[in-house]
Structure 1
Amino acid sequence: MPHSAFSDTLGRVKPPDHRCLIVDDSTAFCVAARGVLEAAGMTVVGTASTLATAIESARSSRPDLILVDIDLGGESGFDVVEALHDDDPRFTMILVSTHDEEDFADMVESSSAVGFLPKFELSADRILGIVARERNGA
């Protein structure tokens, strides 16, 4: 097999193996997000659709990252983020939504989440960028 710059690049672009929990009441989104994240080399350790199952899943799976939908039907993703943070402040959480970030900018900023990602922009690169920005204090 001929050697190429492209094949050299393949080994370097895979993101580190992050363990991710998805909290969303949409089964379709959970399936799609799992596919996107696992295709990029991330491990999805589970899904949850309520505050109670999110806490239970986070405690048992100890994810590196938790994606939390802002609108969980009868519950608020902001409440889930704060409950998870109260349970363990080391959890890294990103809020996701089909709504525009501007709709929730102040609430996202004052929450314990490290950032916001529109669902239609979901990718491992975007997630890792948000996490890196937070860790670098930007």
Structure 2
Amino acid sequence: MKILIVDDHMVVRDGIRRLVAELPDVQTAMAETPGEALAAFRAHRPDVTILDINLKGGSGLDALRRIRADDPKARVVVFSMYSDLAYATSARREGALGYVSKSAPSDELLTAIVKAARGEPHVDALTAAEMEAAPSNTAQALSTRELEVLHMLGDGHSLTEIADGLGVAYKTVANTATRIKEKLGLERTADLVRFALETRGGRLLEGGA
């Protein structure tokens, strides 16, 4: 089985590589940015891609979109620090077969990989519980692009840097930020940045508009 591991932390990439070594006949490739992810995907044509949401120079959701555009049959497992429904929903919306929180036991990731290789979906128990328990609210209504912008704001990027990272016009990102503020009931960009920073390491779905 060929596996592509995309994460911006070497220790995480190495940890996943050691973990998947438990599977038979595994070959691994690595990447840490959305651009590298697409290049590595094209070069290696992996059976399964393991993809983090937090990447250098952009969002894993953007990398997922690029990979799926290149190959609609690509089998991707998102492996993220977020167990929130909003991110899991966006990943599934963009075509990810699996979603596993980094808080989940390691065997959840192995299960997701094996099932993805068979073309079967898998969500870890923690995230599945979020999906079952979380009521619909404003944060869940954010689109994939809006979540990307919110995530990058939380990483400390300016709107100009986000536009460059996503390869879109500044006005596009500014308009996206405006829509996010409207959905979250925020008036100023400073309030949006504060919200993004506060939710960067926590739970996006707590609170509401």
Q: TM-score scaled to structure 1, two decimals?
A: 0.75
Deviation of 1:111 after TM superposition, in Å, equals 1.3
2:4 alignment partner, SS class: strand
Structure 1 unpaired stretches of 5+: 1-17
Q: Does the 8 Å contact 1:114/1:131 carry over to 2?
A: no
Structure 2 unpaired stretches of 5+: 122-209
User: What is the match of residue 176 of structure 2?
Assistant: none
- Render the CA deviation track for 1:24-44: whole Å, top value 9, x for unaligned: 101000000000001232524
User: What is the match of residue 129 of structure 1?
Assistant: 115
In structure 2, do the counterparts of structure 1 residues 19 and 130 end up closer, same or farther at CA, with 3 Å as the change threshold? Answer: closer
RMSD, aligned CA? 2.1
Residue identity (%): 25
What is the 5 A alignment of 1:88-127?
88-120=71-103, 121-123=105-107, 124-127=110-113
Give the whole-Å Cα distance in 2 for the aligned partners of 1:34 and 1:27: 10
User: What is the match of residue 49 of structure 1?
Assistant: 32
Q: TM-score scaled to structure 2, two decimals?
A: 0.51
Deviation of 1:90 after TM superposition, in Å, equals 2.1
In structure 2, do the counterparts of structure 1 residues 113 and 39 end up closer, same or farther at CA, with 3 Å as the change threshold? Answer: same
In structure 2, do the counterparts of structure 1 residues 42 and 95 end up closer, same or farther at CA, with 3 Å as the change threshold? Answer: farther
In structure 2, do the counterparts of structure 1 residues 47 and 117 end up closer, same or farther at CA, with 3 Å as the change threshold? Answer: same
1:25 alignment partner, SS class: coil
With a CA cutoff of 8 Å and minimum separation of 6, indicate the structure with the bigger relative contact order.
Answer: 1
| Higher percent of residues as helix | 2
Deviation of 1:107 after TM superposition, in Å, equals 1.0
**Number of equivalenced pairs:** 118
Give the whole-Å Cα distance in 2 for the aligned partners of 1:82 and 1:122: 26
The worse-fitting range, judged by mean Cα deviation, of 111-120 and 30-39 is 111-120
Give the whole-Å Cα distance in 2 for the aligned partners of 1:20 and 1:42: 11
What is the 5 A alignment of 1:1-138?
18-41=1-24, 43-120=26-103, 121-123=105-107, 124-132=110-118, 133-134=120-121
| Higher percent of residues as strand | 1
User: What is the match of residue 15 of structure 1?
Assistant: none
In structure 2, do the counterparts of structure 1 residues 42 and 36 end up closer, same or farther at CA, with 3 Å as the change threshold? Answer: farther
Deviating runs (4+, > 4 A) in structure 1? none
Question: What amino acid is aligned across from residue 98 of structure 1 in structure 2?
Answer: M
